[in-house]
Every structure is written in C-alpha cells, then in structure tokens.
Amino acid sequence: MARRNRRYAVPGAAQGMQTLKANVMKNEGYRVDPDRPDDVKYEVAKELGIPLQPGNNGSLTTESAGQVGGKIGGSMVREMIRLAQEQLANSEQQSR
C-alpha cells in the first residue's frame, strides 16, 4: 500500500498526530511501536479479519480498507473531542 503524502494545515503537526495515534491505539489495547505508529493498521486489520499486508493490497476492497481506517481514525477523533471538552471545561473554571 502506497503511503499518501499528507499535508497538515499546521506546520509540524505530523509528529503530534503520529504521537496521538500511538497513544490512542495503545490505550485501545494494541501494541504500538512509537517510532512506527502507522503499523498498528496491520494489527487492527488482523483483528477485523481483513487481509491487509505490507506492500500491494490492490485486491483489498474499499470497504475493507475503510473498516481499518475507520477504527483507527474514529478512536483518534473521539480522543480529540475528549481533549477539547476537557480543555474547554478547564478554561471555563479558570475564567470564574
């Protein structure tokens, strides 16, 4: 599978997103190499019964790929929402 060249709107955000992914997936119970957090997708795929392998996955359906990405991305979004809510609550307490 070819890695997409992602560009984040905030310079330097890529490292933070990789760290977030590693922490979130570790909290979800997956083994994560902090230096290679993208590799967690293979463990997620195995759990879901999806034959994702390093290299060419041309025979993989879009639905299957979406299941893997959705599990990872969904967990990351839930954590970002939790962090934002926590930050808002803290800022409200400080302004009182």
For 53-93, how does the pLDDT look when each residue is reduced to its tens digit (9 = 90+)? 888 888 899 999 999 999 999 999 999 999 999 999 988 78
CA distance 74 to 41: 13
What percentage of the chain reaches a pLDDT higher than 70?
93
3: left (phi over 0), alpha (psi -120 to 50) or beta: beta
**Once rounded to an integer, what is the mean pLDDT over residues 7-31?**
89
Whole-structure pTM over 0.85, yes or no? no
Q: Determine the pLDDT at residue 1.
A: 44
CA distance 57 to 59: 5
